[in-house]
């Protein structure tokens, strides 16, 4: 199992026992979690109380009474979310200072400081008479939580026996849940107080646990780790160890502590140290674990459970009571986690919880999508199902990402970076807790039920992350934790320092790869893992990226035609270099020239096709670009298949040199092409000349209406020369988002994995050299045929339908391929013929899905959405983003295949889910609409109209 090993400790302090001293100390320290939990629970509760809203957030209170306001948008208020999330801003800032205090003065000092700040914030909040005082109180609460979250997890993990560290450290999450439970109970009771001041009680009661924490922390012992780290007498630390372990025999543990501390004693620059390569795994986890913990969507439930239940139609009291129920279930589940985490292990609980959370989020999202409209409410039956699913979700979180999101980071850091590592963990947690808290109500308003699919998608990603990249850490002493990274299948490579399928080509230019193929001990997945080999492939995309910005200027200033001529000429020069190469550097120079050619062509050709096409046939015409791309790939694979059989080992030269044929055709043919009418008018040519050209290409005299649209679109922006600055304006925000998102998603389908490396991939699964090339020919044929089908149906079905159909098809095939390779392709040997055939079939289905969706439409949609004044620069951004991520995928795929193995297909499959949801919610339909009227689709779209309409209103006011 990838990442599924467990390291057993050589010294787990089995002679230690649970002592009352440790239990009482940890219970007291755990009160810091109670503060955080109480705050999370109380914030969501008071914001659902009418009296609180009426006093501080009157606009939200009024929205609740208006029938015309959508169910999903009632609580969408920037001021309301600022109240909730301001705590996390101050907590974020505080955590870095708290890191220094925790390291220099000890864990105990930080806990006392946290309690004091929280108590001050509670007093301000409870006495608040305006919203600014309320938010200032929240900022002080954030300071308290910042200190507590920094110190308490470290305190618990350092006081615990290794074999029970999971249970004791999970006490932080248990305290958090208890705090949240108390808050929801207090909210439920105080909501019934007459006079509308019950919210003051809710906010003020937080002073009780804060006071207990301050007083109790004064009597806490410091941890032995902290004493040693701060240079105290080892004898003092030994006496404390004996007391907390309940045994005299603690010398082995003390020696580990002294060794871990003294070897790094002179190393004071913790923030600089943690970025060293040897600590790379810990740094990744310090960022990834708290990020994923927030992206489960739990704080949607924690902050806003009462609001969420009111959204689906439950009353105020019932909503608060339902929130009590969910928190109670979460508390019980966390308590259960404490008993099983040191037996089952961290990874097993992460997996179980991830599957459970994903299933419940999908069910909730489905019910709300089909049964909760903008007005009205759910039936009692469906509301009950939603509530049950929320409870199941809370239980799953509470025995997985809830406690383990704090436990794992607190136990993985070596002593010299423990404080700064925890600081980074807390900071990242605050950043994304703030981000989720600040945006959730707006996301609920705009995405509606899709919010649950959004977080569900992230749950899939994080579960895969744990499966492949998180080693098991149960029962490993803190002082020996570095071993888990040194023995992990992926991380050991990091901490230890550590034509492409044709054998003659590999032997000549990439000899190291050629030798690896002959070594039986090299994993199937890692044979082709070579930085030089990926640099050869992806150097083209670096050159294309740089070229695309210059090509934007040429295309706008001199026309589409000169860009195509320049592209063809550069490609021809690159072909000559590649075919004649005698070393790898000449080969890469040729690839760079090819990149210049592709940069010009990809900039100009999609614009040329979309501007020359009739609006009703623009989809089919523009898809000709992808069809040509598919035909080119097909010719290349056929030539590779034929030249591989040439004796003498020089067939690769024929393959590379044959690219001169289409390059010559493009260069010579472009000289005879007409310029587009759009370009003529944009560059100030005679309108009569543009009219004659329009009549010629449309085959009719009646073109005045289209000409007038072109002139209007051009003249209204005639003075706008700063295109790159212009496209950043709010009115062009939708187009800018699409110019970035669509080419990014096009590459994240994983298609270039197939396009670059299909022969290598097929060889990985056990097919021979010739069979691999022949299989690549087959996929190229299917891709070309499916693109042709897309040309026939894109202007009938529309862009969105093809995107969604293709997305579902790609995801299903990637999941099946990944599953087969995960269970049946080991590091050595090949797949059986039956499974190899299934993989080949699924890849063909995947290629077909891409061929009629993201392949052609990834070029079509960006080429048709830009107004004339930003069309060239918009296409430049599209091409640049495409090159950036084509380069990134090309540069990393072979290494990812080596490290993630079959997981590479689940990785790209997860992105296919995200991009399909993106299209469903954010991409309007553009079929049959003239380019000059394209702005209408944004003005009428449910989401984008709020952005472009606000701009139009401001411009209108300025004109008045």
Instruction: With beta carbons less than 8 A apart as the criterion, state whether 151 and 160 touch.
Output: no
Q: Which of 234-243, 452-461, 824-833 has the lowest mean pLDDT?
A: 824-833
How much is the pLDDT for 626?
53
Between 445 and 429, residue with greater pLDDT: 429
pLDDT beyond 50 at 3: no
Contact 382, 370 (CB under 8 A): no
Query: What is the residue-wise DSSP string for 42-62?
Result: HHHHHTT-HHHHHHH-HHHHH
Residue linked to tokens 């000349």: 689
Q: Which of 90-99, 351-360, 514-523, 772-781 has the lowest mean pLDDT?
A: 514-523
Q: Is the pLDDT of residue 613 over 60?
A: yes
Non-local (6+) Cβ contacts of 910 within 8 A are 457, 460, 461, 464
Parse the chain into domains and list their residue ranges: 20-221+263-493, 222-262, 531-673+716-957
Residue 462: C-alpha distances to residues 285, 350, 959 (Å): 12, 9, 50
Say which range, 295-309, 484-498, 593-607, has the weakest mean pLDDT: 295-309
Its pTM stands at 0.45
Split at pLDDT 50, 70, 90, the class of 761 is low
Please enumerate in sequence order all residues whose Cβ is within 8 A of that of 290, keeping only pairs 6 or more positions apart, or say none: 405, 409, 425, 426, 428, 429, 432
Confidence band, pLDDT 50/70/90 cuts, at residue 264:
very low
Say which CATH superfamily domain 531-673+716-957 falls into: MFS general substrate transporter like domains (1.20.1250.20)
State how far the Cα of 335 lies from the Cα of 329, in Å rounded to an integer.
10
Of 756, 736, 744, 752, the C-alpha closest to 882 is: 744
Q: Taking 80 as the threshold, does the pLDDT of residue 572 lie above it?
A: yes
pLDDT for 589 equals 82
The kind and range of the H/E element at 720 are none
> In this predicted structure, what is the pLDDT of residue 804?
92
- What percent of the chain is predicted at pLDDT more than 70? 70
Determine contact, residues 189/49, Cβ cutoff 8 Å. Answer: no
Residue 525 and residue 903 in contact, taking contact as beta carbons nearer than 8 Å: no
CA distances 138 to 96, 124, 125, 131, Å, are 19, 8, 7, 10
Look at residue 563 in the predicted model and tell me its pLDDT.
83
CA–CA gap between residue 316 and residue 347 (Å, rounded) = 39
Given a cut of 80, whether residue 611 has pLDDT beyond it is no
Q: How far apart are CA 149 and CA 293, in angstroms?
A: 14
Residue 689's contacts (CB-CB under 8 Å, 6 or more residues apart) are 680
Burial category of 942 from C-beta neighbours within 10 Å (exposed 0-12, middle 13-18, buried 19 and up): exposed
Average the pLDDT over 72-85 and give the result. 60
Q: Are 456 and 361 in contact (CB under 8 A)?
A: yes
What average pLDDT does this structure show over 131-135? 83
Q: Bridge partners of 6?
A: 472
Distances (CA, A) of 469 to 343, 461, 488, 886: 20, 12, 8, 24
**Do residues 471 and 612 make contact, with C-beta atoms less than 8 angstroms apart?**
no
Q: What pLDDT digit, counting tens, does each position of 383-405 carry? A: 778 888 888 988 899 888 888 88
Domains 20-221+263-493 and 531-673+716-957 share a fold: yes
Contacts of 485 (CB under 8 A, 6+ apart): 281, 282, 471, 491, 492, 494, 495
First-last CA distance in the chain: 68
* 314: confidence class by pLDDT, cuts 50, 70, 90: low
What phi and psi values does residue 313 have, to the nearest 5 degrees?
Answer: 110, 5
Question: 706, 769, 732, 723: which is closest to 528 by C-alpha?
Answer: 769
Provide the pLDDT for residue 31: 72
The angle that helices 733-748 and 751-764 make with each other, rounded to 10 degrees, is: 10
pLDDT score of 671: 81
**In this structure, are residues 876 and 552 in contact, taking their beta carbons and an 8 Å threshold?**
yes
Query: Residue 276 has which token pair?
Result: 């060293």
Structure tokens at 558: 């001199």
* Whether the predicted pLDDT of 656 surpasses 90: no
Alpha-carbon distance of 611 to 697, in angstroms, equals 11
439 vs 466 pLDDT, higher one: 466
In angstroms, the CA 657 to CA 643 distance is 12
Q: What is the pLDDT of residues 476-534, one digit of tens each?
A: 776 677 788 888 877 876 665 435 545 565 566 555 655 655 554 555 445 444 555 55
Among 35, 465, 415, which residue's Cα sits nearest to residue 208? Answer: 35
Q: Give me the mean pLDDT over the 527-544 stretch.
A: 61
Residue 263 has pLDDT above 60, yes or no: no
Q: What is the pLDDT of residues 192-235, one digit of tens each?
A: 787 778 878 888 888 888 888 888 778 778 888 888 877 777 88
- Residues 282-314 as b/e (b if ≥16 CB within 10 A, e otherwise) read bbebbbbbbbbbbbbbbbbbbbbbbbbbbbbbb
- Paired tokens of 698: 């449309």
Q: How many helices (H) and strands (E) does the chain have?
A: 47, 0
Q: Which CATH class is domain 20-221+263-493?
A: mainly alpha
Calculate the CA 103 to chain-centre distance.
32
Q: What is the mean pLDDT of residues 441-462?
A: 80
Question: Mean pLDDT over residues 138-158, rounded?
Answer: 82
pLDDT at 445 over 80: no
The DSSP element (H or E) to which 554 belongs, if any, is helix 531-558
Q: What is the pLDDT of residue 11?
A: 41
Q: Is the confidence at residue 321, as pLDDT, over 80?
A: no
pLDDT attached to residue 705: 78
Instruction: Choose the most confident range, by mean pLDDT, from 352-366, 504-518, 636-650, 686-700.
Output: 352-366
Listed ranges 64-68, 730-734, 759-763, 863-867; the one with the highest mean pLDDT: 730-734
226-230, 713-717, 817-821: which range is least confident on average?
713-717
Q: Is the pLDDT of residue 903 over 60?
A: yes
- Residue 382 tokens, joined: 């469906």
**Which of 532, 535, 516 is closest to 524 using CA atoms?**
516
Q: How far apart are CA 429 and CA 92, in angstroms?
A: 8
Q: Rounded distance, CA 502 to CA 507, Å?
A: 9
């Amino acid at each position: 199992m990838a990442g599924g090993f467990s390291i057993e400790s050589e010294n787990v302090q089995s002679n230690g026992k649970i002592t009352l001293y440790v239990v009482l100390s940890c219970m007291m320290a755990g009160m810091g979690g109670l503060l955080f939990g109480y705050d999370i629970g109380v914030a969501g509760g008071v914001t659902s109380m009418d009296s609180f809203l009426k006093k501080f957030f009157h606009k939200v209170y009024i929205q609740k009474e208006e029938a015309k306001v959508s169910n999903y948008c009632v609580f969408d208020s920037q001021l309301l979310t600022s109240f909730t999330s301001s705590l996390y801003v101050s907590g974020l800032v505080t955590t870095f200072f708290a890191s220094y205090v925790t390291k220099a003065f000890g864990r105990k000092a930080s806990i006392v400081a946290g309690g004091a700040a929280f108590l001050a914030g509670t007093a301000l909040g409870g006495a608040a008479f305006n919203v600014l005082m309320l938010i200032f109180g929240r900022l002080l609460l954030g300071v308290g939580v910042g200190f507590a979250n920094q110190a308490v997890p470290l305190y618990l993990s350092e006081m615990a026996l290794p074999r029970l560290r999971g249970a004791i450290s999970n006490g932080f999450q248990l305290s958090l849940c208890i705090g949240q439970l108390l808050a929801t109970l207090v909210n439920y009771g105080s909501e019934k107080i007459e006079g509308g001041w019950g919210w003051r009680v809710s906010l003020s009661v937080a002073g009780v646990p804060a006071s207990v924490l301050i007083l109790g922390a004064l009597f806490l012992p410091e941890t032995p780790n902290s004493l040693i780290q701060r240079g105290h007498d080892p004898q003092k630390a030994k006496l404390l160890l004996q007391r907390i372990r309940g045994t005299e025999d603690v010398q082995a543990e003390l020696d580990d502590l002294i060794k871990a501390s003294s070897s790094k004693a002179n190393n004071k620059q913790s923030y600089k140290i943690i970025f060293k390569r040897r600590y790379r795994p810990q740094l990744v986890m310090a960022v990834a674990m708290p990020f994923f913990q927030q992206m489960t969507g739990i704080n949607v439930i924690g902050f806003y459970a009462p609001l969420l239940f009111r959204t689906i139609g439950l009353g105020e009291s019932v909503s608060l009571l339902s929130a009590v129920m969910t928190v109670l279930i979460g508390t019980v589940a966390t308590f259960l986690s404490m008993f099983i985490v040191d037996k089952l292990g961290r990874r097993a609980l992460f997996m179980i919880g991830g599957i459970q959370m994903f299933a419940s989020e999908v069910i909730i999202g489905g019910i709300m999508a089909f049964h909760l409209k903008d007005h009205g409410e759910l039936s009692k039956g469906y509301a009950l199902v939603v509530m049950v699913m929320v409870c199941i979700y809370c239980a799953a979180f509470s025995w997985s990402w809830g406690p383990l999101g704090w436990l794992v980071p607190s136990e993985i850091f070596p002593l010299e970076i423990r404080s700064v590592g925890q600081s980074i963990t807390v900071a990242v947690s605050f950043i994304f807790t703030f981000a989720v808290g600040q945006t959730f109500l707006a996301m609920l308003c705009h995405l509606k039920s899709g919010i649950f699919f959004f977080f569900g998608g992230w749950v899939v990603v994080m579960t895969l992350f744990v499966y492949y990249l998180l080693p098991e850490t149960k029962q490993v002493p803190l002082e020996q934790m570095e071993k888990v990274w040194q023995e992990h299948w992926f991380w050991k490579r990091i901490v230890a320092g550590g034509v492409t399928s044709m054998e003659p080509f590999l032997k000549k230019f990439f000899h190291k790869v050629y030798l690896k193929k002959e070594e039986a001990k090299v994993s199937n997945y890692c044979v082709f893992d070579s930085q030089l080999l990926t640099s050869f492939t992806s150097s083209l995309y670096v050159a294309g990226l740089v070229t695309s910005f210059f090509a934007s200027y040429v295309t706008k200033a001199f026309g589409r035609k000169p860009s195509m001529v320049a592209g063809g000429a550069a490609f021809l020069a690159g072909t000559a270099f590649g075919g004649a190469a005698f070393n790898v550097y000449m080969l890469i120079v040729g690839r760079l020239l090819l990149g210049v050619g592709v940069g010009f062509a990809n900039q100009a050709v999609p614009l040329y096709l979309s501007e020359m096409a009739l609006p009703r046939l623009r989809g089919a015409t523009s898809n000709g670009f992808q069809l040509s791309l598919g035909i080119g790939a097909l010719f290349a694979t056929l030539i590779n298949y034929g030249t591989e059989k040439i004796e003498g080992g020089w067939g690769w030269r024929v393959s590379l040199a044959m690219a001169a044929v289409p390059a010559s055709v493009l260069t010579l043919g472009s000289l005879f092409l007409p310029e587009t009418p759009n370009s003529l008018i944009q560059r100030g040519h005679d309108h009569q000349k543009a009219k004659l050209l329009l009549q010629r290409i449309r085959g009719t005299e009646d073109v005045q209406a289209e000409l007038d649209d072109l002139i209007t679109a051009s003249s209204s922006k005639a003075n706008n020369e700063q295109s790159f600055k212009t496209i950043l304006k709010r009115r062009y925000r939708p187009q800018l988002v699409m110019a970035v998102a669509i080419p990014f998603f096009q590459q994240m389908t994983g298609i270039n994995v197939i396009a670059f490396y299909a022969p290598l991939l097929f060889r990985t699964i056990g097919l021979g050299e010739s069979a691999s090339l022949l299989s690549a020919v087959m996929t190229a044929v299917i891709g070309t045929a499916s693109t042709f089908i897309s040309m026939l149906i894109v202007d009938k079905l529309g862009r969105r339908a093809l995107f969604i159909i293709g997305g579902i098809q790609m995801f299903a095939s990637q999941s099946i391929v990944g599953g087969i390779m995960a269970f049946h392709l080991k590091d050595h040997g090949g797949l059986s013929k039956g499974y190899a055939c299934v993989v080949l079939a699924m890849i063909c289905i995947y290629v077909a899905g891409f061929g009629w969706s993201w392949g052609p439409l990834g070029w079509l949609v960006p080429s048709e959405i830009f107004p004339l004044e930003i069309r060239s620069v918009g296409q430049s951004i599209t091409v640049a983003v495409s090159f950036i991520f084509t380069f990134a995928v090309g540069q990393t795929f072979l290494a990812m295949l080596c490290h993630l193995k079959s997981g590479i297909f689940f990785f790209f499959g997860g992105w296919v889910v995200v991009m399909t949801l993106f299209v469903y919610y954010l991409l309007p339909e553009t079929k049959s609409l003239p380019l000059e009227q394209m702005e209408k689709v944004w003005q009428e779209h449910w989401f984008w109209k709020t952005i472009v309409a606000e701009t139009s209103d401001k411009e209108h006011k300025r004109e008045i």
